[in-house]
């Protein structure tokens, strides 16, 4: 986005161009190679794939147009779709669906404590409210730093019975994190308190997230 003086500033929005997609792949790879909870077995763990095309991949970009953070959201109509997406069993009843599944998060190492992941999560919560979805779900690793934030937002955690992800060698147990629709507005308010300072530095640009 350009200011009144024509100076490009940071932004957040849906990833769309080939160059942006390549930048997101690189960001994912760099982040996942540092992860303590898992190691990469296949490049498909970070490569742009069909779920990226079907869902909404958000990116945060600095004033020099470098990718700083990313997260993907995709709508699942039912539990089977969620299990196919997360590659593990999802121990949740039908009332949790349709749901927004969040994943493929990655942040540049020197910006990991700024709140960019929370900024992206805020925009996805806004979309979940507008789309009248019943929950927001994620597959997280037990002991990961973001679990503390998710608990503060009201997420609940359940251990899947089975995991069949062939892209990763998992070192920490996977948990299914769930936030019900009744808790969306409270969680959004808490995130605003965390990321409000980032709204000016990284304004939304481009098309909005909408359910087709």
Per-residue pLDDT reduced to its tens digit, 23-59: 999 999 999 998 888 888 888 889 999 999 999 999 9
**Cα–Cα distance between 199 and 107 in angstroms, integer?**
17
Average pLDDT over residues 147-169: 94
Instruction: Find out whether 205 and 11 touch, Cβ atoms under 8 Å.
Output: yes
**Cα–Cα distance between 53 and 74 in angstroms, integer?**
10
- Tell me, what's the pLDDT at 116? 95
Q: Over 60: is that where the pLDDT of 6 sits? A: no
- Tell me, what's the pLDDT at 2? 39
Average pLDDT over residues 124-133: 97
- Choosing among 3.40.50.920, 1.10.1380.10, 3.40.630.30, 3.40.50.300, the CATH entry for 11-195 is 3.40.630.30
**Which H helix or E strand runs over 51?**
helix 50-54
Average pLDDT over residues 170-196: 95
pLDDT, one tens digit per residue, over 131-145 is 999 999 999 999 888
Residue 16: count of CB within 10 angstroms of its CB: 12
Strands (E), the chain: 11-14, 38-40, 56-61, 67-76, 99-107, 135-141, 156-158, 168-170, 174-180
The share of the chain scoring above pLDDT 90, in percent, equals: 79
Tokens encoding 139 = 């597959």
């Amino acid at each position: 986005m350009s200011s009144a003086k024509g100076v490009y500033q940071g932004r957040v929005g849906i990833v769309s161009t080939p160059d942006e997609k390549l930048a997101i792949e690189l960001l994912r790879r760099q982040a996942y190679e540092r992860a303590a909870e898992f190691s990469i077995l296949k490049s498909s763990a970070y490569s742009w794939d069909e779920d990226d095309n079907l869902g909404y991949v958000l990116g945060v970009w600095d004033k020099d147009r470098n990718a700083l953070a990313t997260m993907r959201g995709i709508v699942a109509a039912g539990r089977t779709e969620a299990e196919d997406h997360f590659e593990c069993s999802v121990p949740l009843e039908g009332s949790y669906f349709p749901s927004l599944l969040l994943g493929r998060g990655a942040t540049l190492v020197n910006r990991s404590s700024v709140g960019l992941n929370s900024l992206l999560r805020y925009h996805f919560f806004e979309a979940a409210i507008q789309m009248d979805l019943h929950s927001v779900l994620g597959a997280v690793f037990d002991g990961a730093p973001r679990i503390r934030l998710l608990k503060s937002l009201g997420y609940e955690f359940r251990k899947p019975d089975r995991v069949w992800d062939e892209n990763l060698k998992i070192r920490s147990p996977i948990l299914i994190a769930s936030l019900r629709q009744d808790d969306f507005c409270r969680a959004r308010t808490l995130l605003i308190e965390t990321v409000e300072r980032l709204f000016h530095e990284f304004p939304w640009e481009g098309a909005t997230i909408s359910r087709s």
